[in-house]
C-alpha cells in the first residue's frame, strides 16, 4: 500500500509539474520507496549530490555516502552550526529500494552533547602520552572524529553533535531522482528558490543550509498566510526559530516577509542594513538607534535579535526574496497602540498578498480573541488583523524550561521601576526539535496552536547601557557579532 501511495504521489507530480512543488516544505509522513532495485537507484542518487554541488565521500561496498561539512547561513559572522548528510541506500525488496538520510549537526555549544560523552569506557582506546597538550590522551577514535571536524572561516573543534532523520531531504532527492529512473520526458523540474525581484542571480535550493526542518511548518507556510508568533521576549531560541523558518520557506520557493515589534522609526535603518554587505559601518548605523540603548531592555533589543537580522541580511545578500519590516508604535498606549500596530501590519500584508508573512510580537499582541483578564474590551493586534485579513494563524510560544531576559516590577518593591535581567522560565519538555502544531479550533486567547523552540536560554541586550567598552552609553562602538558565535544554544 505504501508503494502504491508513493507511485500515486509521483504520478501527481508528473501531471501537476512545478506547481506541485509549491509546498516543498510539506512532505508525506512516510518513506519514499523507489520502484527500482538498489543497484539502479544508487547511481542516480550519486548524480543528485554531484549536480547539487554537495561533495561527498563514499563507502564503495555498502551504498553509503557522507557529504562534506557545510555552514548554516554560510558566510554569516554569527553562524555557529555545521551540517553534513549521511545517506544510506537500503534494499526494500528485490525490485524496490529506499534512502535514509540523516543530517548530522555539530556546534561549539555543549547542549547537544550525548550523555556520558566524556566517559572513557576502556583503556584500549587511549593512545600513548603526547607532548601536545591538545592531543594528549586522545584515542584513535578521537583522532578520527577530530579529523572529521568542520573546516572553513569559522571552523572549530566542535563541542557537541546531533543526528536527526531528514525526511524533507529524502523527498527532495526522490522528487528529482524518481522521474529520471522512470525516464519521464515531462518530469517536474527541481524546486526553485524565491529569488528577490532585483537580484541578478540566486543560489540553488541545495546551496543554502537552513538547519533541521521545522516539523509541521509546511502545512502552514503558504502564499498569503500571516503567521503571528506570540513570544516571551529575551530568549536566544525564538529569533533563531524565525531566521530558520524564513530560510526554509524561501528556499522552498516562498517569498517571506518578517515583521518585528521594533519602533517604526527604525525602518530606514533596518532596510539599509538588510541591503548592506554587513560591514562594521553597516552595523554601526543600525545600532546607533536609541532603541538598542533603552534603559529598560525588554528582550526585543537582544543580541539574538541582532543576530537574526544578520541571518536575514545574509539570505537577502544571496539573492533570496526575504524582506523585513517593523511595526511598533511605542508612543501610543493601550488600545491606540494595538490599533496602530495592526494598521501597519495590514498595510504590509496588503502590499504583498502572495508572500508568507511571519509577524513576531509579545504574546499579548498576537491573540486573536477580544479581551484581557484586566480589560474585557481590549482588542489585541491579532484580533484586529483576524477581522481584516483572510488567512491569519496565531501561534503561542511553547518551550522547555530555562532562562530568559525579562523586565518585571522589582519583586521587593524597593524601586518603583522595572527590573531587567535573567529570570527562570518554566516550560514543558517536548523534545529538542523545533515544531509547529495547530489545534482543531482556537483556544480562549485566540491562539490556533503553538510553535516550540526547545529549552530556552536568556539573550542579553545587544548593547548594555553603562557597560564599559563596546556598547557604553554614548559610545560609537556597536554590537558586533563574533566569528562563530552562536545565535542560540540549539
**420 in the same domain as 295:** yes
C-alpha cell at 310: 544578520
Residue 486 falls within a domain, yes or no? Answer: no
Question: Distance between CA atoms of 119 and 115, rounded to whole angstroms?
Answer: 9
The pairing of strands 418-425 and 402-409 is antiparallel
Whole-prediction pTM: 0.81
CATH number at residue 270: 3.40.50
- pLDDT the model gives residue 134: 45
DSSP string, 6-67: HHHHHHHHHHHGGGGGGGTT---SS--EESS-HHHHHHHHHHHHHHTT--EEEETTTTEEEE
Q: For residue 23, how many C-alpha atoms fall within 13 Å in the half-sphere facing its CB?
A: 14
Where does a domain end: 126, 146, 181? Answer: 181
**209 in the same domain as 161:** no
Residue 29 falls within a domain, yes or no? Answer: yes
Which residue is associated with the grid cell 508573512? Answer: 357
**326 in the same domain as 281:** yes
- pLDDT the model gives residue 187: 61
**314 in the same domain as 248:** yes
Closest CA to 432 of 395, 399, 396: 399
Question: Helix (H, G, I), strand (E, B), or coil: what is residue 345?
Answer: helix
**287 in the same domain as 146:** no
Residue 196 falls within a domain, yes or no? Answer: no
How far are the Cα atoms of 167, 370, 383 from residue 366, in angstroms, in the given order? 31, 11, 8
Number of residues written out for the chain: 490
**261 in the same domain as 121:** no
Number of domains within the chain: 2
Question: Distance between CA atoms of 334 and 338, rounded to whole angstroms?
Answer: 7
The residues pairing with 329 across neighbouring beta strands, listed in sequence order, are none
- pLDDT the model gives residue 424: 92
Closest CA to 104 of 83, 73, 74: 83
Residue 24 falls within a domain, yes or no? Answer: yes
Q: Rounded to the nearest 5 degrees, what angle is found at the Cα of 342, between the Cα atoms of 338 and 348?
A: 150
**110 in the same domain as 13:** yes
How far are the Cα atoms of 56, 73, 173, 204, 267 from residue 153, in angstroms, in the given order? 20, 13, 29, 22, 32
The residues pairing with 258 across neighbouring beta strands, listed in sequence order, are 324, 358
What is the phi-psi region of residue 216: left when phi exceeds 0, alpha when psi lies from -120 to 50, beta otherwise? Answer: left
- What letter does residue 445 receive in the DSSP assignment? T
Identify the domain containing residue 131 by its residue range.
Answer: 2-181
Question: Is the CA virtual torsion 154, 156, 161, 163 positive or negative?
Answer: positive
Question: Distance between CA atoms of 111 and 161, rounded to whole angstroms?
Answer: 9
What is the mean pLDDT of each successive set of 10 residues along the chain, which is 490 residues long? 39 36 69 94 95 89 91 74 92 95 78 41 42 47 51 46 84 91 71 90 90 90 96 94 96 96 96 94 91 86 93 95 97 95 97 97 95 91 96 97 85 64 92 93 96 94 56 40 36
Question: Which phi and psi (to 5°) does residue 356 adopt?
Answer: -95, 115
- pLDDT the model gives residue 148: 58
Where does a domain end: 181, 196, 225? Answer: 181
| Alpha-carbon radius of gyration of the chain | 24
Residue 488 falls within a domain, yes or no? Answer: no
Residue 442 falls within a domain, yes or no? Answer: yes
**151 in the same domain as 21:** yes
Question: Distance between CA atoms of 382 and 391, rounded to whole angstroms?
Answer: 12
Amino acid at each position: 500500500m505504501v508503494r502504491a501511495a508513493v507511485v500515486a504521489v509521483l504520478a501527481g507530480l508528473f501531471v501537476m509539474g512545478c506547481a506541485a512543488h509549491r509546498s516543498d516544505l510539506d512532505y508525506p509522513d512516510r518513506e519514499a520507496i523507489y520502484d527500482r532495485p538498489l543497484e539502479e537507484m544508487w547511481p542516480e542518487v550519486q548524480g543528485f549530490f554531484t549536480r547539487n554541488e554537495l561533495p561527498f565521500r563514499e563507502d564503495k561496498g555498502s551504498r553509503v555516502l557522507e557529504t562534506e561539512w557545510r555552514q548554516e547561513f554560510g558566510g554569516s559572522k554569527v553562524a555557529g552550526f555545521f551540517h553534513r548528510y549521511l545517506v544510506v541506500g537500503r534494499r526494500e525488496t528485490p525490485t524496490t529500494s529506499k534512502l535514509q538520510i540523516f543530517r548530522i549537526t555539530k556546534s561549539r555549544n555543549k547542549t547537544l552533547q550525548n550523555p556520558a560523552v566524556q566517559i572513557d569506557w576502556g583503556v584500549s582506546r587511549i593512545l600513548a602520552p603526547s607532548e601536545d597538550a591538545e592531543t594528549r590522551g586522545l584515542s584513535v577514535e578521537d583522532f578520527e572524529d577530530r579529523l572529521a571536524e568542520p573546516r572553513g572561516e569559522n571552523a572549530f573543534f566542535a563541542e557537541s553533535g546531533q543526528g536527526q532523520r531528514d525526511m524533507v531531504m529524502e523527498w527532495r532527492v526522490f522528487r528529482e531522482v524518481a522521474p529520471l529512473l522512470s525516464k519521464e520526458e515531462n518530469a517536474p523540474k527541481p524546486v526553485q528558490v524565491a529569488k528577490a525581484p532585483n537580484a541578478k542571480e540566486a543560489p540553488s535550493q541545495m546551496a543554502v543550509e537552513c538547519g533541521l526542518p521545522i516539523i509541521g511548518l509546511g502545512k502552514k507556510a503558504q502564499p498569503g498566510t500571516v503567521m503571528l508568533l506570540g513570544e516571551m521576549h529575551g530568549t536566544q531560541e525564538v529569533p533563531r526559530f524565525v531566521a530558520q523558518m524564513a530560510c526554509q520557506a524561501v528556499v522552498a520557493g516562498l517569498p517571506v516577509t518578517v515583521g518585528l515589534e521594533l519602533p517604526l522609526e527604525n525602518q530606514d535603518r533596518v532596510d539599509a542594513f538588510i541591503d548592506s554587505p554587513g560591514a562594521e559601518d553597516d552595523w554601526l548605523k543600525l545600532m546607533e538607534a536609541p532603541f538598542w540603548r533603552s534603559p529598560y531592555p525588554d528582550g526585543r533589543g537582544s543580541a539574538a535579535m541582532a543576530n537574526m537580522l544578520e541571518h536575514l541580511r545574509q539570505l537577502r545578500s544571496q539573492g533570496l526574496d526575504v524582506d523585513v519590516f517593523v511595526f511598533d508604535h511605542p508612543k501610543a498606549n493601550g488600545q491606540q497602540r494595538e490599533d496602530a500596530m495592526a494598521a501597519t501590519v495590514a498595510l504590509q500584508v496588503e502590499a504583498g498578498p502572495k508572500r508568507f508573512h511571519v509577524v513576531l510580537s509579545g504574546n499579548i499582541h498576537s491573540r486573536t480573541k477580544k479581551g484581557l483578564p484586566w480589560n474585557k474590551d481590549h482588542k489585541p493586534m491579532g484580533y484586529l488583523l483576524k477581522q481584516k485579513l483572510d488567512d491569519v494563524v496565531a501561534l503561542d510560544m511553547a518551550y522547555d524550561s530555562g532562562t530568559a531576559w525579562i523586565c518585571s516590577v522589582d519583586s521587593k518593591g524597593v524601586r518603583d521601576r522595572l527590573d531587567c535581567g535573567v529570570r527562570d522560565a518554566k516550560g514543558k519538555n517536548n523534545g529538542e526539535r523545533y515544531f509547529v502544531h495547530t489545534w482543531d479550533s482556537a483556544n480562549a486567547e485566540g491562539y490556533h496552536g503553538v510553535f516550540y523552540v526547545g529549552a530556552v536560554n536568556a539573550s542579553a541586550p545587544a548593547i548594555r547601557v553603562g557597560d564599559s567598552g563596546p556598547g557604553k552609553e554614548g559610545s560609537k562602538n556597536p554590537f558586533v557579532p563574533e566569528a562563530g558565535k552562536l545565535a542560540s544554544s540549539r
